[in-house]
Amino acid sequence: MERKVVVIGSLNYDVCLKQDHIPEEGETCFADQVEYCSGGKGANQAVQAAKLGVNTYMVGCVGSDSQGGFLKENIEQYGVRTDFLKIVEGSSGMSVAQSLYDGGVRGSVVKGANDQVSKEDVDALKGFLKPGDLAVFQLEIPIPVVEYGISFCKEQGCYVILNGAPAAPLAEEALRQVDLFIVNEVEAGFYCGSEILTEKAAEEEIRKMAADLDNVCIYTLGKAGAVVCEGEKCEFVPPKKVRAVESTGAGDSFIGGLCYGIVHDMNIFEAARFATCCSARTVCKTGGQPAMPALEEVLELYQETVV
Ligand SMILES: Nc1ncnc2c1ncn2[C@@H]1O[C@H](COP(=O)(O)OP(=O)(O)O)[C@@H](O)[C@H]1O
Ligand SMILES: [Mg+2]
């Protein structure tokens, strides 16, 4: 039977304002533009996997507000199954970002419904999760639910991926239980306790972490690529040279791509090369979920990598 991907995480309604300056205390300024997007790390990763044709389920909560309906329909349009998505009383997860023309961004996030994801929502997966299925977590839902979910999914025989983003303290036991731990360079700095400024530092730290946690670790390094470490074996996966326009969702696209690779029995280094091609496509378009590529677009780039 086809292995499925079950993402247990966040959905956010993102409001993005474009303006020329950040208002001072007491000032209200005009923004030039507003965009409404479906986001949240969980939803983004699920959408990328689904766009690649992987059988993908989103487990989480949206609010009873109109944004909740928008979020649910939006991911369904991309092919994500919502059988385990709950609608709860109150507001949906939401973010408001003020972005400036020079690239600066300020924002606030309302946890909303994401904060209501519970251990019962994880328990509801009993009998549905099969050995070999992928369970994917990030840290935008309550941490105790993530910790519980990791050990629950391991008991069901799943391959568990943890994206430690946004960086937050987590029980060591949970980190050890996951099969794959993935973070970007900023988050990696948080988990290993020292800033990662060079590729060499990334490799040194990731070797230590992979040995210590005894699992596969991946650090993504933005436009510098990624390092992947499995046991003694560490590999640098170079980025694809593309004309990047916006990096929103790069890491989420990478994780959706990894899911595709793992479901299709690629080894982790091969899966990371495939994931790199997904991200490369994503950074060439604006927006998160709409920018994420379908399988054909990724294969074009990936085939160049292989030959
Ligand atoms: N400007 C870019 N050009 C090509 N690939 C990129 C670029 N920025 C990011 N990527 C790819 O996306 C992956 C994830 O990006 P990164 O910024 O590390 O994640 P996050 O979005 O979590 O911060 C990188 O490992 C790289 O392969
Ligand atoms: Mg980044």
pLDDT tens, position by position, 260-300: 999 999 999 999 999 999 999 999 998 899 999 999 999 99
| Both structure tokens of 63 | 């609010």
Active-site residue flag, 265:
no
What confidence score (pLDDT) does residue 287 get?
85
Band of pLDDT at residue 2, cut at 50, 70 and 90: confident
Q: How far apart are CA 220 and CA 207, in angstroms?
A: 14
Q: What is the pLDDT of residues 180-193, one digit of tens each?
A: 999 999 999 999 98
Beta strands across the sheet bearing 93-100: 33-39, 12-19, 93-100, 105-110
Q: Which of 223, 220, 257 is nearest to 241 (CA)?
A: 223
Ligand 1 site-directed mutation target among 196, 247, 304, most atoms within 8 Å of CB: 247
Which residue is catalytic, options 102, 121, 252, 265? 252
Of residues 61 and 245, more confidently modeled: 61
Secondary structure class of 5 (helix, strand, coil) = strand
Residue 247 confidence (pLDDT) above 90: no
pTM: 0.96
Find the mean pLDDT for residues 66-92.
Answer: 98
Find the mean pLDDT for residues 108-124.
Answer: 97
> Could you give the percent of the chain with pLDDT greater than 70?
99
To the nearest whole number, what is the mean pLDDT of the chain? 95
Ligand 1 site-directed mutation target among 105, 191, 196, 220, most atoms within 8 Å of CB: 220
Q: What is the pLDDT of residues 128-180, one digit of tens each?
A: 999 999 999 999 999 999 999 999 999 999 999 999 999 999 999 999 999 99
Peptide bond into 23 cis (omega under 30): no
What confidence score (pLDDT) does residue 307 get?
56
Residue 51 Ramachandran class (φ > 0 left, ψ -120 to 50 alpha, else beta): alpha
| Both structure tokens of 24 | 């001072």
Which one of 3.40.1190.20, 3.30.70.260, 3.40.50.12780, 3.30.365.10 gives the CATH number of domain 5-11+41-60+78-86+114-306? 3.40.1190.20
CB 157 within 8 A of CB 132: yes
Find the mean pLDDT for residues 79-86.
Answer: 98
Of residues 195 and 52, more confidently modeled: 52
- The helix (run of H) or strand (run of E) holding residue 217 is strand 216-220
Band of pLDDT at residue 254, cut at 50, 70 and 90: very high
Q: Which of 244, 211, 216 is nearest to 229 (CA)?
A: 216
